[in-house]
Structure 1
Amino acid sequence: MTGAVLLWAALGYLLGSVPFGLLIARALGLGDLRQVGSGNIGATNVLRTGHRGAALATLLLDGGKGAAAVLLARALGGEGAALAAGAAAMAGHCFPVWLGFRGGKGVATFLGMLLALQPVLGLLACASWLGVAGLTRISSAGALGAAALSPVWALLLGRPDLALAAGLAALLVVWRHRANIARLRDGTEPRIGQRR
């Protein structure tokens, strides 16, 4: 890995580390997200405050930072830099330096990264999330479905390089959802919009 790619990865990580959900909730007087619902800083937990606008803004900004990292790195550093920056942005969201490395689950940033890397792949991953979440009314089920299917979509699109990248990112999404998987298995995972 070249020094330029490492630099883009570092910049992607710092961009991904911006905790938009936490900042939006504070700005709107919704409290500290880490003390609400699941304690997560992502859009699903922002929705548990009852403020749909804040949740939508968080979703768009968290996805946007994954996309921005990829697009900036690609424009100035090439495809290898774009992959590194996107992956690092996702890691930054999950393990932000500003919050003691305790962040979100990376789903919106993952989807934003995929949309920027390959728009059709990103749209298929988003459709997978919507389909599974729509059927189950459970956000984590949608996230896990999108993560599992994204490498498959990449292979069907003839992009084994992106299948590998999506697969590795999907493993992080699954690992960050360990507690959700246990609740899904037990039938206790809350539905979208349901307060804990």
Structure 2
Amino acid sequence: MYQTAVFAILGYLSGSIFYSQVAARLFGVQDITRDTSDGNPGVFNAFAKGGFTVGLFALCGDLLKGAAPLLLWRRVCPDWMNDPLLPLMMAAPLLGTLYPVFRHFRGGKGITVSFGILLGLIPLWKPVLLLAACFLFFSVILVVESHYFRTLIVFAAFLAAVCLGSLAPLVKEGCVLLSVCELLTMILRYRETEPLEVHLLWKH
């Protein structure tokens, strides 16, 4: 349990690093949060403001900062599936992204790092496939135009799918904790200026 607590702290610190800003400095581009509606130092603004190279660097970095702490922890904790701190270990990188110590606890939206965290559970594929299916469904089939509302609906759907599914209990608790942290942060911190629009892709 001591090892898990240490890795959870490392996971939080890992989540507090914003690779979009690291990439902006490395490639000499402007602050990717400047002149954006949400001021989010995330992958979407990295692609939009920094271009493909900055965006790809940010995407890979944000996935890695979620997955790496879990993968390293699992190497030193073979019985990780039964560790009661597994939900905390899963939530740590996301909390670092949402409330980073290096940015006065004002962070990003945590969407990409959530995927990274679930990738850190592989070969347990079901959680990341569930989240990916929710994103694809509300991005490609029943399209929610507003990025803000799409994120809320995706994580609400993921939360429902996890609660109704057959995941291992501690993994399920971790996924629930991820979803709740994401939903509460989106509701409390961000406000959408665009109206909610929902349509079928082929009827748009």
TM bin (shorter chain): 0.7 to 0.9
**Deviates further, 40-49 or 126-135:** 126-135
Taking a change above 3 Å as real, the CA distance of residues 35 and 156 of structure 1, as seen in their structure-2 partners, is same
Residues 1:52 and 1:17: Cα distance change in structure 2 (over 3 Å): same
Quote the Cα distance in structure 2 between the aligned partners of 1:26 and 1:149.
36
Residue matched to 2:20: 21
Moved more, 166-175 or 137-146: 137-146
Structure 1 residues 24-66: Cα deviation after superposition (integer angstroms, max 9, x where no partner):
1222222123324121111112133161332233122212211
Q: What residue number does 1:194 align with?
A: none
Report the Cα offset of residue 181 of structure 1.
6.6
What is the CA RMSD across the aligned residues, in angstroms? 2.5
Distance in 2, Cα, partners of 1:34 & 1:146: 24
1:70–1:82 contact (8 Å) kept in structure 2: no
Higher alpha-carbon Rg: 2
Q: In the aligned structure 1, how far is the partner of 2:196 from the partner of 2:150?
A: 16
Provide closer, same or farther for how the CA distance between residues 51 and 167 of structure 1 changes in structure 2, counting only shifts above 3 A: same
Residue aligning to 2:102: 98
Distance 2:178 2:98 in 1: 11
Residue 107 of structure 1: CA displacement?
Answer: 1.1
Q: What TM-score results when the alignment is normalised by the length of structure 2?
A: 0.78
1:108 Cα deviation (Å)?
0.9
Instruction: Determine the structure 2 residue equivalent to 1:67.
Output: 67
Taking only the aligned residue pairs, the percentage that are identical comes to: 27
For 1:1-196, list aligned pairs within 5 A.
2-37=1-36, 38-49=38-49, 51-77=51-77, 78-79=80-81, 80=83, 82-117=86-121, 118-134=124-140, 135-154=143-162, 155-178=164-187, 182-183=191-192, 187=195
Greater fraction helix: 1
Do the aligned partners of 1:140 and 1:180 also contact (CA within 8 Å) in 2? no
Contact kept, 8 Å, 1:115 with 1:123, in 2: the verdict is no
Q: Distance in 1 between matches of 2:69 and 2:165?
A: 25
